[in-house]
Structure 1
Amino acid sequence: MGRKVTLATCALNQWALDFDGNLDRILKSIEIAKSKGATYRLGPELEICGYGCSDHFYESDTQLHCFQVLEELLTSPVTQDIICDVGMPVMHRNVRYNCRVLFLNKHVEDYFLPRMIQQVTGQETVPFGDAVLSTKDTCVASEMCEELWAPNSPHINMGLDGVEIFTNSSGSHHELRKAYVRVDLVKSATAKSGGIYLLANQKGCDGDRLYYDGCALIAINGDIVAQGAQFSLEDVEVLTATLDLEDVRSFRAESSSRSILASQSETYYRVKVDFALSAPCDLFLPSYEPIQWRYHTPEEEISLGPACWLWDYLRRSGQAGFLLPLSGGIDSSATACIVFSMCRQVCFAIQNGNQQVLAYVRRIVGEPDFIPQSPRELCGRIFTTCYMASENSSLDTFNRAKDLAEQIGSYHLNVNIDTAVKAVMGIFSIVTGKWPKFRVNGGTSRENLALQNVQARVRMVLAYLFAQLSHWAKGKSGGLLVLGSANVDECLRGYLTKYDCSSADINPIGGISKTDLRSFIQYCIENFNLSVLRSILSAPPTAELEPLADGQILQTDEADMGMTYAELSMYGKLRKISKCGPYSMFCKLIHTWREAYSPAQVAAKVKYFFRMYSVNRHKMTTVTPAYHAENYSPDDNRFDLRPFLYNTSWSWQFRYIDQKLGITIFIILALAFIEKPSSLTLTSDLRYRSDPWDPPCGVTESIEIVCLLIFAADVSVKCNASLGSPSMSFYHVWDATFCQKQGTYFLMNLLTAVIYNQFRGYLLISIQTSILRRRLGIRTAFEVLCCEKQLDSEINNHMEGVSPHLVMRVLDQVQMKSYYKKIITQKVQEFGDCLISSCQFQKLFDELDKDKIKQHPAMPEYQNACLRKLQFIFSHRYFNLFGNAVALINVICISAALVIFADKALSKTDDYFLWVINCFFILFYLLEMILKIFSLGIKGYLASRSNVFDGLLTITLLALLLTMFFTYLIHPKWGSDVPGLVSLLELIRMVNLLIVFRFLRIIPHIQLMGLVASTLLDIVKNLRAFAGILVVVYYVFAVVGIILFQGAITPPSNTSVVLNSSAEEDTVNYTAVCGTYEQLAYWPNNFDDFANFIHKWDKSHHCPVTEQQEAAMCPMTVQLMFREQIKEPTEEELLVRLHQHPHLHLPH
């Protein structure tokens, strides 16, 4: 009896319910296995009907046709003299099973065979169930695909029962980096107790989103001896290996513990077969040696897997190629590169003599004699790309799309969709009478989103139109498959438009993350020589659906999403792989992101993600079938079965996060009590940490007693026990902690924790963290500058210092506060030409640590109890709130008065009521200022900028009020005709408006308005330069207008003179056509003041003194400057105008 066996496993490109094709491929694999000397052939799971049959598994027709195929296999001479292991569904006792059918195998209970099988085998029943096959020379057992991944796999007990050969018929689909896990599981299956393991797997696309990546293998005693291809265009691949059974027996004999376990294991029913897997004379038959598994990188997997999937889909769909809307971004470019990779593999297979692939290519292109000479030529025949531009598209993306299409050889189209978009919006405008606007043009968010969606959906309609008719337009037959290009992260976030270009026939990158796609693009640059991908990789991802600014792109994907692609990938893995809800994700991310975000920021990010995920989940119900690659895919067809209608508020979950967030911050703050000495009270740099100060005897003990009393009272109240009980726990705390002179540190940490409690969510920029990072950064900078100096001087030994000139050069490019930079620069200059050592370099930046927190001056101390009570009341924050409430009432009164007197001239208004209100509020502000000074003291009052502003405002209003009172109130003719009264009232009104700023100070303290207020302040800061530009542009425009249009434009006759002469009348006694320059007083309002200035300036520099004085007294207008060009009206013209006046009835 021999000892060496030759076994065969295979990877077949089966197609669901393609019984003819599946039978041919099974027979071909058996024939190849026999030709290589194999006596056992293992096939994939459900290979007869195809693993992707899904719910067809439950149909009686599927079982019927499987038995018909089994009949063909049994009658075929190819299956003789070899044990065949095939997979198919079988019904037993009204239960359908996913079975392995071994010719002459498995006998536990009788199974009645169908009549067609009885006629072939001459048997009525066969064994059915879980058994092992015992041959003359060894023992074989089967386990199904998923059982390999189970915690208690059957091969464990089977091995203890003496099984030497394990077979696994798998239907394992491809995922990025999954091969590592699969190979490790097979190796570990035999590494501990020995044995031979055969893994068969399906390959290719069998009609679903999945791609089965083959990867058949054979292992012995934990070593791989044969590896099948993971990606190929071959429909049938057979893998064989000749192995020595004595190697298994020797490996098991070394383990005594296995012998003990084997005596206690369950016994499997054995089906004895009068057949031997080994040959009698196998002495000179060589055995296979272990090999090193060659893994593909993730970039190679993306290049090969989706490309093979596209090829199977194309050849089996009967279409003539692909069409891709190519935007010039990373996603669509990655899809184009995958199609190009498919063409490379097809050409490689044809060059290696694969006639089946060549036949499919000729059928697809419609030319019976076609042989592609290069991937670019094939790409031009079967691949069409289309750049669909709009008014929001940039020239950069247009050029990138065109250059990529040219490099891969695709048939490229340029289409402008503006006409179609405007037609759609025109229909909407006709029906509703409104035309939406983009946000940058003043539109709302809903308008902005609708306008973006229209563009995206028009592109989808045009894509299908060109896919159906582009070949017809060229005189060819057939249609094209539309490819989508939305990645898995965008699907998870819902950052896509329903029924836009993401709606396609298939999507080769829909299961791949943005991070992996970027790596794949880099791989294509290096391996496909596609140089244009460099600019695509460096460009920020953008949808280009919003208007451009000076031809530049403002819209970016990450800004629109509110999160980065790296964060999205993390969310997806935690949600799907780690099965995290909102709270669990928050708990994990506060540790993962502790260096980047505070707990409050993490909570906000988690809430925002789940809110956006739940709002957009419905888009997954219509998402394009996509190649499955990532294990956190949100595709709800199979991999992520979740609802698409959520309660988007997540009220219970978010509320629980908020509760735990407060506890988290408390724990972080409590860490300050553990450190000794605390880095919050002493410098964190050990080299400069001095010895703790030891206060005189008595001070420390007093502080300890105070802290102890507070602590004891707190514990006593909580324990509901009397004070002073010797059994209380705080006595132990006293003995262990306070008696060791640590009361000082305890109190300092307590005060620090209270201060830091005001900065929830900003703990990462605490003194400890910032100083630590700064110290490390300074040290790193010193080492880098040393290396730079070493390279410049070409000295091999390490320099112990840096040049001051080099430091000065770096400081010129560093952004820091000017007074810091000035002091550091002065210190650097003091070194002259001497090198700066590491210690000296560190001390240069000690100035950055000298920020001091401004301490509020101590409040005055009053002996009288009543005064102390009043001091407490007027220094309380509620008193400030009351003052702000009064300011709000003042603002309302001012606004009401302005509205009431808006249509009246200032000289015609009755300001007595407003004057009385002003008196009341000014007196209140004065009283408030006095009371605050009383409670805070003059230094404490001036320490607050808000108090200084309020005090100056009160003094100004009081001064104006007293000036008006003493000047005009005693005047016998009080009224608006009193000289100067109108101007004074205007001044009081203007100062009153400053009260608004006092009220606005409370807005940042309102949680919902804090963001708005900070944004407005930033806008005001940035408007200073803009305002200066406006002033310059205004006057430049005026000067240029006077120069260019002098004598060319005749201004309206005497308009300014008429307006100036009648300024104090309620109405102007002249007529003009509505909307003209005359009626709008365009010239006097815009140019008279400037013209008067120019006239005076010119006179003062070129005229005698007398003329200067005369010019100063004479106001100048634009009409007077162009006096020579003004034609004076005749007397007849004046009479005609008077008779035409609507308010004058003159006799003719």
Structure 2
Amino acid sequence: MTSEDSTGAAYNILTNSMYSSAEFEHELLSGRDDLSSENCKPEALLQAVVFVEDAVQFRSIYHKVDIKSLWYYRLYYSPIVQWIISSAICVILLLAFFEFPSSLTTGWSSDPRYRKERIEAPCGLTESIELVCLLIFVADIWMKAYLIGNKQFMKQKWLFAYVLVIVASLIDWIVSVHTACNEIIRFRRLLRPFFLLQNSSLMKKTVRSIKRTLPEVFSVILLVVLHLYFFTMVGIIIFSAQTSSSSVGNSTDTDNGNKTNEDKFFSSIGRGYRSLLVLLTTANNPDVMMPAYIENRMYALFFIIFLSIGLYCFFNMLTAVIYNQFRGYLQSSMQASFFRRRLGIRAAFEIMRRQGKISFTVRQIRNTVPVSMVKSVILQVKMKKVFKTAIIRELDDKMGGFVTSIDFCHLFDVLDKNLKVKKVKLNMLFCPFLRKVQSCISHRYFTYFGSFIAVINVICITIEMGLEKKEEKKAGLIAAMNFLFIIYYIVELILKIWILGWRKYFSSKLNIADFAVVISLFVIEVAYASSIGKPFAITESLGESYDLFVLSRIINLLILVRLFRIITHIKPMAIVAWTTVDLIKNLRAFAGILVVIYYFFAILGIQLFYDKITYEKRDPERMRKCGTYEQLNYWANNFDDFAAALVVLWDVMVVNNWHIFLDAYAEYTNKWYQIYFICWYFVSVLVCLNLFAALIIENFITKWDRYHLQEREDQQTMYMLNVHAMFRPDLKEPSDDDLMNALQSHQHLNIN
């Protein structure tokens, strides 16, 4: 039996928990001469495999380590089981769109005047789906409790809260079924975002970092509150006196209300405080200033000083505090994750090291592990193929030797690197002339010329869209030019594939994207040409055929998309573009937190404001008043269903005109309900958006610095820009004593 065959046999045994220890030893020892002296146990090797997988995924190693538990452990973290749990979380969150009040209406508008009838699910349908999801969560928590043990389970606050949320949700579900779905408030809907939080370790770390950052954030927010209070009191003193004197001296001169509008903004402490809070967000600037400014230009200094201190000092200070503190706490969380990885790697090494009954007298050899044993473990680890291949390649170079704990640890440094796929070499043609053509087409200037043609094409499209309404014949001529450009794209594509070879051409993701766009352009252009008879026909009006209009718009859109290829030719622009792509990939934890707060506030908004503002209840006087909810026709912005509530929260987070919602809901409900919108502003804008800015800054600085470092040192290997890798240069290697102490404290692992 060859080495590869015996490794595969060992893999089959390890992945099947039905094998006994005697069967494993017999097959392993009969097929692997290089491991016969070590007398490896199947349980130990399986433990090493699982510990390495824990290290790869930054998981804790404090779980049961017997063969049966490890089999269930790998099953639990298998893609299919994790997909089922993730699907249950997604489904239970999406139920809010279909539960009462349903977001599905016969009309597409959320405006009560046009949305028509709601499509409500029958009682019991959404409840049945929800019950299935809750039962999946029950199985999830039961499996976690079984795998880590009761003692470790009681130490996990998130898991304990998980149990409480599931129990509360089941109780509220029973109430819903008992009342035939007629209960007004469903508390469990407010708890659903917790399922999303607890399922992501990175989200939990981010939440923990936010919680630690909040005391410093609240200190700055307290300054903002005091700043608002001070200027509110000063404003009431100044403008109430100014209003009184104005009313005495100009009792008959209202000038359409401009001279007495100070009372509108500073009629009371609450009104003045709210007016200045909105001004601090610039939503009502300069509206709040104009009545006083019309009376006396010196009053502008009050508002200028207020905004200079609050907007340009305190708010920027808040961003700085959040960036500095949040980065520090997040880095400490990443340090803990890094310790988990190193602990998992060291645990796997110690397990393998203690399996060998080696008769060497040299201590250095006793503290090592055979490369063959390491390779047999790595082959069974579930990890990305590119990383596994790199590690196996490095082990093959050392085959027959031994690795130390440091060597074994360094094997996994590739996990933080962006390993490039091996470039396919260009096969040179034999004919001298064709070889010159090949060199020209493979040269970067040929790509630059293609991008230049794409720019010209976009300019023609711009002219076409400008002339389409006025001079349809000229627009038709320019549209016909698109056909010539697409012919060039096809010729360029064929030449590149012929000269470079299909393997080298499709080894680039940019080439694959360009291929998809060009082929789509060609197919749609052929369909367009066949519809009008010939590619150079000048139609009287595209509006006569909706299909032709859609095809022409799709062609123009694809050509615009192809213009993005010029980004790769401009290095600063390319860095910004790739940083944006990395940002989208690496901010999933932050995006999840945004989903959580949006979901919670949307459900809470529905409970508070459902059916509070309707077109039938409109105030005719407010309909005529400029700048009101009714006059601006904001009827579609309401909390009558979950989808509409999300849009309202987005509008308030954007800040512009958010005071209109404050006025409207205070008018139709109670002035204290404004606290809901103010809390949403503080949470979403002052905290979350500042966190988002901090992460963007950190992401971009890291990408920019590493790019220039690689450019100076001419490095070929790029480091991945995920959240863990962003902080990798600042993380400290744990000491051997810390690692061994952590291993010895493992409840289910006996390492002496």
Bigger Cα Rg: 1
Q: Same fold (TM over 0.5)?
A: no
TM-score w.r.t. length of structure 1? 0.22
User: Which has more helix, going by share of residues?
Assistant: 2
TM-score w.r.t. length of structure 2? 0.32
Which one has more relative contact order, counting CA pairs under 8 Å at least 6 apart? 2
